[in-house]
Amino acid sequence: MQARFTLYYWPIPFRGQFARFLLAFAGADWAEADAKAVTALYRADPADQPLPMMAPPFLRDYEGDVWLSQMPAICSYLGDVLGLMPGTQTKDAQTLKVLGDCNDVLEAMTRNSGVQMWTDDTWDDFATGRLPQWLSLFEELGRRNGLTETHGTLLGTPQPGVADLACAALWITIADKLPALHPVLDAHAPAILALSQRLADTPPLAALRADQQDRWGELWCAGQIEASLRDVLARWQNSSPQ
Amino acid sequence: MQARFTLYYWPIPFRGQFARFLLAFAGADWAEADAKAVTALYRADPADQPLPMMAPPFLRDYEGDVWLSQMPAICSYLGDVLGLMPGTQTKDAQTLKVLGDCNDVLEAMTRNSGVQMWTDDTWDDFATGRLPQWLSLFEELGRRNGLTETHGTLLGTPQPGVADLACAALWITIADKLPALHPVLDAHAPAILALSQRLADTPPLAALRADQQDRWGELWCAGQIEASLRDVLARWQNSSPQ
């Protein structure tokens, strides 16, 4: 039987992980397009695409007859149809803000999807500057919304929403796939890491993560930029006092 | 009297133009924070910010007691409170998709906010590759939604919405401030350029643009990356058959 949703993304976590966390957590019925279909749709002329779109992830919702691109648009839509958006103007907008921040962290971690490679110096600047700054920003956003008391109003809500799940999809995936960064996350964003771990350990997300680990191993963003990142991380992990 | 909204962005169009087009078109009462206030808020520690935020634009809504960052989140929120969102799950999500695309075009035009400078070769690749590809994508999205018949369902709607105004804020500002690109826009996205011009010529947006031109002249994204862009454009305009 046809699954309700198809996600078009390459077989790596990275920018596809956000939709997957929402779909899995909500128990939605979805299929993953195979890598050839993803690449074919990506390379197609806009006139031949079901919706003119630049780059994956792409989402198809058969029930709504909807196609989408852009991670925050996909997550907001899935949040709407799966009942995971806060449902107020302010919290919905702050959820979009969190999704935008998540996208920016991915860009920062990959030097803009690999337009430049990491060097020891640029990584060291990032690991002592922008990365802790991003972590503190998420941590403070959590704290401001009551996360430390485990009854947050945007992050750490009793019913996890898109902001919580996006946060987990970002940070637990980094912690899982790039374990050298786990201590940095724990040092600068302990409540966010704890929230992410709590969500990641729920049965549907634990099953998703185990399945990904079986099939793709440690792959995170793939490509030369992942090789460059692992290269600097190996040296940095040995040299850094952390 | 206190304006309802304050926009925190530097005195340039670029990523601040989207909120301005929405605010101006809707006749909203807003103030622009001065550049020193923008920079102070940008540089503040997350713990000292009203909402932990990385980079402008920032929006404050006094009436809703709301702070936001991230251009698509700001525009979606303004769209909600100013009555400029389509109001269906699908069209709202496609509006977010357009906002994400607009952000990506800004990143592409500035080589990721200036992490690299333009050279004649990289510009030539962009001007014959990714730029026409983006334009064709917008044009096709318009066509798919009936734009050519001037009664579109996402772009070119009878009551202009966030997607229309974002499109105009992106493309007419490029056409205004970087006139060397006007023929490229016209060649690859004539209906999008016409829609953008039509909206830009409405009295509130014409007044906004005239005021910006008086105060900031041709400034677009500012900084070394704008200098680099104007440098390659000057040579390219003279050498290119267009």
Within this chain, do residues B27 and B104 fall inside the same structural domain, yes or no? no
- Residue B196 contacts A where some CB pair is shorter than 8 Å: no
Within this chain, do residues B144 and B59 fall inside the same structural domain, yes or no? no
pLDDT in tens, A172-221: 999 999 999 999 999 999 999 999 999 999 999 999 999 999 999 999 99
Within this chain, do residues A73 and A128 fall inside the same structural domain, yes or no? no
Residue A223: DSSP 8-state: H
Q: Looking at the predicted structure, is the pLDDT value of residue A161 above 90? A: yes
**List of chain B residues whose C-beta atoms are within 8 Å of the C-beta of residue A53:** 97, 137
Nearest to A37 by CA among A4, A1, A60, A10: A10
Q: Looking at the predicted structure, is the pLDDT value of residue A225 above 60? A: yes
- Say yes or no for a CB contact (<8 Å) between B52 and A92: no
Q: What is the pLDDT of residue B42?
A: 97
- Residue B54 contacts A where some CB pair is shorter than 8 Å: yes
Those residues whose C-beta lies under 8 Å from the C-beta of residue A207, and which sit 6 or more positions away, are A24
Please say which residue of B33, B49, B82 terminates a domain: B82
Question: What gap in Å lies between CA A233 and CA A21, rounded to an integer?
Answer: 26
Mean pLDDT over residues B85-105, rounded?
96
Within this chain, do residues A143 and A195 fall inside the same structural domain, yes or no? yes
Within this chain, do residues A59 and A155 fall inside the same structural domain, yes or no? no
Question: What gap in Å lies between CA B215 and CA B210, rounded to an integer?
Answer: 9
Within this chain, do residues A61 and A121 fall inside the same structural domain, yes or no? no
Residue A198: burial class (beta carbons within 10 Å; 0-12, 13-18, 19+): middle
Structural contact between residues A189 and A46, judged by C-beta atoms closer than 8 angstroms: no
Q: What is the CATH number of the domain that holds A57?
A: 3.40.30.10
Q: Which of A80, A137, A139, A170 to mutate to test the interface with B (most CBs of B within 10 A)?
A: A137
Q: What is the CATH number of the domain that holds B106?
A: 1.20.1050.10
- Residue B87 contacts A where some CB pair is shorter than 8 Å: no
Within this chain, do residues B18 and B124 fall inside the same structural domain, yes or no? no
Specify the pTM. Answer: 0.96
Please say which residue of A56, A82, A108 terminates a domain: A82
Q: What is the pLDDT of residue B149?
A: 53
pLDDT in tens, B184-213: 999 999 999 999 999 999 999 999 999 999
Within this chain, do residues B179 and B201 fall inside the same structural domain, yes or no? yes
Give residue B241's pLDDT band: very low, low, confident or very high (50, 70, 90). Answer: low
**In total, how many domains does chain B have?**
2
Residue A130: burial class (beta carbons within 10 Å; 0-12, 13-18, 19+): middle
E strand or H helix at B123, and its extent? helix B120-128
Mean pLDDT over residues B92-107, rounded?
98
Q: What is the pLDDT of residue A240?
A: 60
Within this chain, do residues B93 and B166 fall inside the same structural domain, yes or no? yes
Q: Which of B97, B106, B111 to mutate to test the interface with A (most CBs of A within 10 A)?
A: B97
Domain of residue A47: give its range: 5-82
Within this chain, do residues B104 and B217 fall inside the same structural domain, yes or no? yes
Structural contact between residues B35 and B20, judged by C-beta atoms closer than 8 angstroms: no
Please say which residue of A82, A112, A130 terminates a domain: A82
Within this chain, do residues B122 and B226 fall inside the same structural domain, yes or no? yes
Within this chain, do residues A122 and A201 fall inside the same structural domain, yes or no? yes
Q: What is the pLDDT of residue A210?
A: 98
Q: Looking at the predicted structure, is the pLDDT value of residue B147 above 80? A: no
